[in-house]
Structures are given as structure tokens and as C-alpha cells.
Structure 1
Amino acid sequence: MNMTNVSTTDISGLVNAVRQVSRNQETLGNQQVVLHNDMSAMQRNQDSTQRELLDLKSQFVEYVRRDELRQNLQLAQVQILEVRGELNDKFGKFAEVRELATGTLQALDAGIVSHGAIRDLSEELMLRTPGYWLAPALIAVASWIRDEPELAAKAIGEALRRDNDKASLFFALVLRRQQRDRATAAWVRQYAARQDPAKLSREFVVVLDAVSTGAFGREAKPMLLEQMSEWYGRLGQDQDTVDRQVERWAKMIDTMRRPADARYELLPVLSPTWPQLKDLLEGATVHGAAEEMLRTTFEGPVPQSRDLHERVDGILDNLVRDFDAEEAPFRKREAELQAIVDAQGDHDLARKKMTAEDPLHEQTVDFLTLLSNAALHGDRAGASAGTQRFTLALARDWLVQGAGRLEAANIAAMPSRVELRAEGWTGWVDGDTDEQRLVGSLSEHIDRETAKAVSEVRMSGAAQAAAVCGGLALLVALLSAVGGASGFALFLLFVAAALGVWAAFDVRALPARRAEIRRKGDQRRVAAVVRLRGAIAELVDLRGEWQQEIAKADSLRTFAEGLTATAFVAIAPDQPRGA
């Protein structure tokens, strides 16, 4: 009787225990669902954190870059002051002589300064600037005016000894102010005879200025035009020399790139081909920018004084203010530092600029390079607006060829197909691509990944072990019942039931988990398809914009080929048109 009561009590306890296990399993299942949701939220938070970390990294890199640029800029600003101070210490006296040059001529015209005062000042400056050509040249002018031929001859000889080319041009321009055309032509002829078209000095820009502005007389101008035409034709036979000019113009035109429109947002994210597409689109914009530059340069008349003295004085200013050979290293260093300042501390950008302007800092260049210097960097080369037009027209063939090289390279580099990547999928867009097919391919890819994720949602290892153990417990319980061990059999039935409930609850949670994966897969597919369609639309827009920009190369070519150099040679104020 006691055994029966004990067994009943034990069975009742076992039943309650099974019920408690069932409730615990249900609670555990709910906790698993909550845990799954928490894990999903954690994954989203991880993605958000990763994006924020990438943003912080980008901001840090940008901060470091800005700090580096700031330090570079500050250092360049300090160093450029040091270089200018050294220039002033070593060559400041040259500036005094330069200030005196055209002022002397204008004072003599006005008749308000005595000849003796001018000569005395010139002689004083000559003593203070040994070796500088301009000081004896001014003494020669003063001696001419005072009718002192012996002193004038000595001063001329000294000026020519110090710098034959600049002194010859100076005397030619001074004589041209007095409309002594034959004497002017004699000095110009002497100057031209000494020139090697493969090694022209910087001051030859003054000759271009005098020709283009009509400052030279009826004898000197045609002689120089003929001489330059012969040089142009001779050097034009040297293909290496021409190729250097064409390459230089191509590099210059390529600097006129305009940035790609900010409306392209999806292509940069989805296409590994974007950097190439962006480079080609920006490269295609140079043709329109170059034509705009040309039209602006040639727009409107060049302001020309009708007074011969004013025209000549402007050219004289350019001649005497041009720095001399010994100043060149300091001037180049100043230009390098100024390039860094202009680039706001960006050494790479400054280096590219200086590389493009290297010929400007050479002591001697060939005639074709000198034309390019005047055309490309008129203000830096000392050329007037009229001279820049004249040299641009002379250099038109190199400009056209340089632009043509850029056009051909751009067209050849345009990829025949563009790669797109999204959600682990890769596709290609070419001329025969069907957008719907690409969308279908991406959708199938995401659906396959979703189906694979769903198929991997199975019973956990613990639940599978519980099911196996529960089955074994049930089998042993049956055998124990047959053998008469009913108490042990009931205990094993309890264990089997508990394990079965655990496994059943895990199985019952599988559909919800699979449904959640399918729901997220659908969201992922819809978002990816929207982004893919947007990227394809942007690609269509980009190709259309590229075609419009590259087509402007024909317009640039037509405009440039219509330029004629002789149309930009002015008539001297004291000569009739056609002289």
C-alpha cells in the first residue's frame, strides 16, 4: 500500500515536472525569438556602427590632410618672403634703374627735367649696379640728347658688352619713339642676325609685342615677320620639336577639366568602373572649356593707344622689367613657392603646375616653345593681349592636334561595357543589355541566397540530441515496462516527454524564423532592384552627357582653324593702313 502511494506521488511529481519543463520550453522559445530579434537589431547596429566608423576614419584622414595643407601653406608663405627679401637685397638696385628707364624718356619728352640731372642720376646708378646693362644704356640716351657722341659711343659699347641683345632692342625702341625708322631697322637687323631660333632668350617676347602691336616701323616689321616665318617653317620640319609643342598643348587643355555632376550618386557606389567613367566624362569637357577660353581671348578689340610713344613705352617697360640671368634661380624658386600658395598647400597640384610651366623658366628656348609660352601664359611671359592673340593664332595647329590627341584617347578608353555590383551580384551593361534581364538576374541571385538561408534554418544541435535521447528513453521505458520495472518505466516516459516537448518547441519556432528571413529577403530584393535601375539610368545620362561634350571637339577645331596670325598684327599709329 505504501509502495503504491509512493509510486502515485512520484508519478504526480513527474507529471508536474513535465508540465514545468513544457512551460520552461515555451518560455525558452519566447526568449529565443526575442534573442533572434535582438541579434537582428545588433546586426543592424553593427552595420550602422561600421558606417559611422568609416565616416570617422574619412573625417580623420580629411583632418590630417587639411592640417598638412595648412602647414605647407604657412611654410611656403614664410619662405616666399625670405626669397623676395633676398631678391631685394641682391638686386634691389636693378629695380631703381628699371624705374628710371621709361621715366627718363617721358621726362625728356615733357622737358621738365634737365639733361644734366638725368645723366648725373644715370651715372650714379651705374656705379651702384656694376654689370647691369641698363645703366650704361641710359647714359647713352642722355648723351645722345646732350649731343655728346664720344660719351654716347662709350656707353653704347658698354651696354652692348654687358647684354648685346637687350641693349640692341632698347636702342631700337628708343629710336622708334623718335620715328627714326631706318636707325630702328638697323638695330633690329643687328639683333635678329645674332639670334638662334633654337635658343632664343626671354626678351624675344618684346619683339613679338612690337610686331603685334605695330610699334615697329615700316622697315623693321616686315623684316621680322619674314624672319619669324622662316624660323617657323624651319623648326616645323623637326617633328620632335613640333611633338613637344603638341604634347604641351594637350597637357594644358587637359587641365581645363570640369568636375562630374554631383547628381551621379548610385554609379560611384555600385560600379567599379566609375573611376574610369568619371575620368572620361571630365576629360571630355575640356573641348568646350578650351573653345570658351579661345572665344573669350579673342572677344572684342584689343585696346591700342593711338600715340606711338605710349605703345613703345609699354614695350620698353616689359623689356627693362624682365629679370636678368643672375636673378633666374631666385625667380624660379619664388614661382615654385607661389604655386604652393596658389594651390593652398597642395604640393602635388603645385608640382603639376610648375611642370606645365617649366619652359617659362628656361633661360633659352626654341622659337616654337617661345610662341607657346606667350600664347599659354601671356601675363607670365610678358606678352600683351594683342601678342597673345597673335601667338595663339600661330600655335593653332598645335592646339588642334593636342585637342585631337585628347579626343582620340578619350574615345578609345571609353569601356564597351560597365560592371555593376550589388548584394554580392555582378552584372555588365553594354550596348545590347536588356535592363529587365539584369533586374531578373539580380532578383534571382537574391532569391537564391534567401532560399539558401531558409534551407539552413533547421533544428538546433541540442534539440536534435534531445529528440534522439527522447526516443531512446521511450524505447527503454517500454522495455522496462515489459520487464516489470513500472516505476523506472514511468520515469523514463517523463524524461522522453520532456525531451520531446523541447524538440517539438524548437521545430515549432522554425516557420517563424524562416518567414522572417523571407521577409527580409524580399525587402533586400526590392531595394537592390531600385538601386540597380537607378544606376542604369545614371549610366544612360552619363553616356549622353559624354557624347555631347566629346562632340564639342569639332566646334573647337573649326574655331581654332579659322584663326589667322596676320589678322592680329596691328598697324603703327604713324603709318597708313596697308603699310
Structure 2
Amino acid sequence: MTEEEAKAEREEAERLIAQINHLKGQIERALIENRNLQNELVTLVENVYELAQRTAAMDVEVNQSMAYVQKRVKEVDISTSELFALIDDLTNSYFAFKNLSTATKNVTQFTDEYFTKFKFYHELRRISLGYVVGLDAHICSDETMRKKVESIYLQNTEYWLAYASMAVMLWANNEEEAAKRAMTKALSKDYFSSALYFLLVNLRFTRVDAAKKWYLCYLDRVDMENLGDEWQYLLQAYLSGVFGVDKEFHHLIHQCFTDLLTQMESMHPQYGNRVIDKTMVYSNSYIHVTDYEFETLRRHCTEYEELKNLLSQAEKNEVLAMHFRKVWEDRTKPESDLFQRIENILYNLINAYDKEEFKVIKNRRYNEMIITAKGDLNRAQQFFNIEYPVEKMTRSLDNLLFQWAFEENDDRVDISVKKFAISYLKKWIIKGFMQYGETYRREEKEKYEISIDGWLGACDENSYEDTKNELENYYNNNRILDTLKDKFVLIFIGMIFSALVVLAITMFHFNKIPLVIGILLGVVGGFLLWRRIVDMQSILRAKRENGCLLLKTALDELKEWRKLYKAEDAKNSDLVQVFENIES
């Protein structure tokens, strides 16, 4: 064998070996792919099994969902009026919540404004009282106090207390001319508050003769038919006995108040009736909204607001009784020390709101009333107009007595003044509250109108069976009308009518396509109309059952309302009893 042949055989052998190796590789790859295919087949079989299980579960879920949807559709079909009523309630709740939110924000805003804008007022009050009674002697020197007051004094503020305090400081330092100028300035800003302030300061330092002179200055300028708010501090001083340091002075004050009360009753013979009327107005407008809600009555009683208002009116008996009982049972004893009593009156006088302050306080109070009235702007405005009349009220003693007796803000009227006013007016207040009870009782009805699905009937809480029969007769008499009013019935009738129109046209202009369309439209419309009429029977039956259930629930709620109302109404006698137990 030649070398070339040997070389050719080697090359052929190498080629064959390479082919064999290539085939082995292909076989191995085929085996691997086969194993992968087997694994994929097993996975696919498992996936198909899992898919079958999930499909079954989905079928159950879909069926349940469809059943729920069908139920909800039927409910809406039965009670669309309830749906609209709920939408209205949601709208009203939204606006009430919006009013509450705005009022809450405004209360915070006006509170911040009060303590920011009138910050120096509060500081001046502390300094003034501290200087007179020596309360702040351990905190700062007289000189420091004087510098702070002087800085406010030199700003030409409109606040009378700055000038009155400066006058006292200058007087204490024997700067007579400067003290007179400051005193004159104080009197020009607020004559009556300044005069009373100087009266009390002189009493505090046992300068009785000077105090008498200031009292006479006060009486010389005051109009008894148009008194100021500061009159209550003079009454507080008299009631606390601070004028007892001098018998003549005490007798003078006593005679003044006695003559004023006698004059008031002689000049206003109908004063008692006015107090009765004012008590009635106050009670009716007093802000209180019951926490009780009766959902079914709210949606189906046309007089629900009257029911709720009547219960709120009756609940006021307990609220007002608690308020006046708390006032009268207040056991705060007057200070045994004469100087301490004078200081307490000075404190009240100094802390009385200035005109600009009072504007902010009124704005804050109005928003607090909105919150109390649960967003009812009309109710809040009514009570606000009573507490802060738009028209300037003549501030005669008769009006002030009523204002003091019914003042809710303890910061504005001292408890001794409140008690005096209440004890003096109690015989008329009793009649006013008794008439208040009689007034709202006349608004109670034996029967109230209930409206369900267009039916309207007057019924009481014990007339369920008779009312139920009326309601069922209403449903039975309106079955055909309710069926014809159904939108699907109207659509299917429209389909049948359209089919008749198409067929009528083909009678004159024959065409196969419109003929087929008309026949199919008529057949489908007729079939769907028949099915809908069948469905409407069950819908109307469910509607009747739902209506009867609503009627029963409404009457049960009416019974509960009546029970609550009677219980609260009985407390009117407790309110009257509070005043009957008061000693004149």
C-alpha cells in the first residue's frame, strides 16, 4: 500500500469518526430534547388539570357574582326611590360636614387672632392688676411694670385700661399733673369703666371718701334706661359686701338698687310678660340637636324634621335644668378677706372684653354655635341673634337682668350676679318654661304621614295591620301601571311597534330583507316582553314585601320615638322644679 493510499484511508477514517461523533452528539441532543418534551408534557398535563380546577372555581365565583349582581339589580329595580333618597341624604350630610369643617377651622383661626392681635391687652391686664394688688411684686419691679405700661400709653391706644393704669402708677409716684392727664384720657375712652375702676382702686386702698366721689361721678353720667356692661361689676361689688366698710356708703348703694328695681317695675308694668316671652324665645332658639336618628323614618316620613325637632325641643328640658341647677348649686363662697373680694371684682372688670376684642369673640362664638348645631346654619344664626342681637337693644336694667340670668359664658357674668338675676326673675321664668312645654306639646300629632313607593298614608305606631292592608291594596291596584312604567317593558313594546311599522311598509314595498328583519324584531320583542312581564311579577311581589317591611320598621321607629319623646317631655316639670326650689 502506497503512502498516498494510507493517507487517504486515514483521512477517511478520521472523517468517519467525526461523522460518528457528530451523530452521537445529535443522538444525545435528541435524547435531551425528548426528556424535555416528556417533562413539558407532564407539566402540560398538570397545567390542564389545574386549569380545569381553576375553571371550576371561577365558574362558581362567576355564578355567585352574577347571583349577587342580579340580586342588586332587583333591589335597585324595587327601590329606586330609596336610592335617590340616599343620594339626597349623602348630599345633605356632605354640606353639613362642610359647614362643621369650616366652622372648626374658623374657631381655631379666630382664637389665634384673639391671642395674637390682643396679646398686649392680656399683658396690660396682668400688669394693671399686679400693680394694684401686688400680685406680681415677686416677679418684676414697679419700675419694670411702669415702663411696659408707658410703652403702650405712648402708642395712643384706644384701650381705656392703658390710661387708667398709667394714672394709678403716676398717682402712686406723686406725679399729680401727669396722673390727672392720664385719668382724663381714660375717662374719654370709656368713662363708666374707668370711673368704676378708680372707685374700686380707692376702695382697695381704703380711701372711702374718694370712692364715694367716684360713685357719684358714675351716677351723675349714667343713663338708667341705657346702662353699660360695667353695671354688673357694681352689682357684684354690692352683693359681695365690699361697700360695707362704710355704713353710709353701703346704704347709699342699697338705696340706689332698690329704687332702680322699684322704678323698673313701675315703668314697665308688663315686664313679667316680657320675661315670659323672652324665656319662650330663648328656649325655642336654644341650640340643641338630638343625637337620635331614625333611618327608616328619615327616608319615608314626610314630617321627619318635625319629629326630630320635637324630640330636640323636649330634650332641652334636661339640658337647661342641668345648666341652671349647676349655676344655683355653685357653692363658691365669697372671700372672707375684703381686699380679696375687691381684687376679684377688679379682675372681672379689667378682663371684660373691649369693643374690638368683642368682635373677634362674637365671630368665634358664632362658629362654636354652628358646631353645636351640627352644621345647621339657620339654627345657629337664630340663637346667635338672641345672644347678640343685630338691632342694638336698650340696655335698661330689665334687659340686663334677663341677659345675666341666661348668660352661658361664665367669663362674662359673675356667678353672684347670675344668682341674683335668676332669683329676682324666677316667678316669670317658671311660667315661661311651663308655656314652653305647652307650646311644643301642641305640635305633637297622633298620626304622621308615611310615604312608600308613591303611597302616602297617615298612621300611628299601633296601626300596622290596617295600614299594611292599605299598602297592599295600593300595590295590587297599581300592578299594571307599574309594569307599563318599567323601562324594559317600554323598550320591548317599542321593538314590537317598530316591527309592525316595518311589516306595514313591506306590504306596500315588498322586500325580503325588511320582511325578515320585521319578523325577527317582532318575535324577539314579543318573547322578551313576555319574559319581562313574567319577571315583573316576582319584582312587584318583592316590592310589595319590601314595602310592608319598611312600613313595619317605620312604625317600630315611630313607637321608639314616641317613647323617647314622652320621657323627655316629663322632664319639663324637673326644669320648673329647679326654679321653684330657688329662694328669692
TM-score w.r.t. the length of structure 2 is: 0.65
Matched, 1:443 2:472: yes
Aligned partners of 1:454 and 1:153: how far apart in 2? 94
Aligned to 1:388: 418
Structure 1 residue 377 displacement after superposition? 2.8
Aligned to 1:266: 296
Aligned to 1:27: none
Structure 1 residue 546 displacement after superposition? 2.1
Aligned to 1:210: 237
Aligned to 1:316: 346
1:19-98 correspondence to structure 2 within 5 Å: 44=75, 46=77, 55=86, 59=90, 62-63=93-94, 66=97, 70=101, 92=120, 97-98=124-125
Matched, 1:367 2:406: no
Matched, 1:257 2:257: no
Aligned partners of 2:295 and 2:532: how far apart in 1? 35
Aligned to 2:27: none
Aligned partners of 2:291 and 2:163: how far apart in 1? 58
What code does the residue aligned with 1:536 have?
Answer: L
Match 1:296 to one of 319, 326, 340: 326
Query: Cα gap change, 1:524/1:151 in structure 2, threshold over 3 Å: closer, same or farther?
Result: closer
Query: Cα gap change, 1:373/1:55 in structure 2, threshold over 3 Å: closer, same or farther?
Result: same
Query: Cα gap change, 1:118/1:404 in structure 2, threshold over 3 Å: closer, same or farther?
Result: same
Aligned partners of 1:454 and 1:119: how far apart in 2? 90
- The answer for unaligned runs of 5 or more in structure 1 is 1-37, 467-498, 566-579
Query: Cα gap change, 1:427/1:180 in structure 2, threshold over 3 Å: closer, same or farther?
Result: same
Structure 1 residue 429 displacement after superposition? 2.5
Matched, 1:232 2:251: no
Aligned to 1:492: none
- The answer for unaligned runs of 5 or more in structure 2 is 1-68, 501-518
Aligned partners of 2:427 and 2:98: how far apart in 1? 44
Residues 256 and 290, structure 1, Cα contact 8 Å, conserved in 2: no
Aligned to 2:548: 529
Residues 250 and 405, structure 1, Cα contact 8 Å, conserved in 2: yes
Match 1:104 to one of 122, 126, 131: 131
Aligned partners of 1:430 and 1:159: how far apart in 2? 67
Residues 209 and 387, structure 1, Cα contact 8 Å, conserved in 2: yes
Aligned partners of 1:160 and 1:451: how far apart in 2? 86
Aligned to 1:548: 567
Aligned to 2:457: 427
Aligned partners of 1:85 and 1:44: how far apart in 2? 57
Aligned partners of 1:392 and 1:294: how far apart in 2? 9
1:43-69, CA deviations, whole angstroms, 9 ceiling, x for partnerless residues?
A: 655567886676567546655665576
What code does the residue aligned with 2:344 have?
Answer: G
Aligned partners of 2:190 and 2:349: how far apart in 1? 12
Residues 205 and 381, structure 1, Cα contact 8 Å, conserved in 2: no
1:57-206 correspondence to structure 2 within 5 Å: 59=90, 62-63=93-94, 66=97, 70=101, 92=120, 97-107=124-134, 127=154, 129=156, 134=161, 137-138=164-165, 141=168, 163-179=190-206, 184-185=211-212, 187-206=214-233
What code does the residue aligned with 2:577 have?
Answer: T
Query: Cα gap change, 1:66/1:196 in structure 2, threshold over 3 Å: closer, same or farther?
Result: same
Aligned partners of 2:537 and 2:283: how far apart in 1? 55
**Structure 1 stretch displaced more, 223-232 or 179-188:** 179-188
What code does the residue aligned with 1:390 have?
Answer: F
What code does the residue aligned with 1:439 have?
Answer: K
Aligned partners of 2:94 and 2:261: how far apart in 1? 52
Aligned partners of 2:200 and 2:72: how far apart in 1? 85
Query: Cα gap change, 1:529/1:229 in structure 2, threshold over 3 Å: closer, same or farther?
Result: farther
What code does the residue aligned with 2:133 have?
Answer: Q
Structure 1 residue 212 displacement after superposition? 3.1
Structure 1 residue 290 displacement after superposition? 0.9
Aligned partners of 2:108 and 2:138: how far apart in 1? 44
Aligned to 2:50: none
Aligned to 1:19: none
1:444-463 correspondence to structure 2 within 5 Å: 444-450=473-479
Aligned partners of 1:174 and 1:159: how far apart in 2? 14
The residue matched to 2:457 in structure 1 has which SS? strand
Equivalenced residues, count: 480
Query: Cα gap change, 1:76/1:420 in structure 2, threshold over 3 Å: closer, same or farther?
Result: closer
Query: Cα gap change, 1:311/1:52 in structure 2, threshold over 3 Å: closer, same or farther?
Result: same
What code does the residue aligned with 1:413 have?
Answer: E
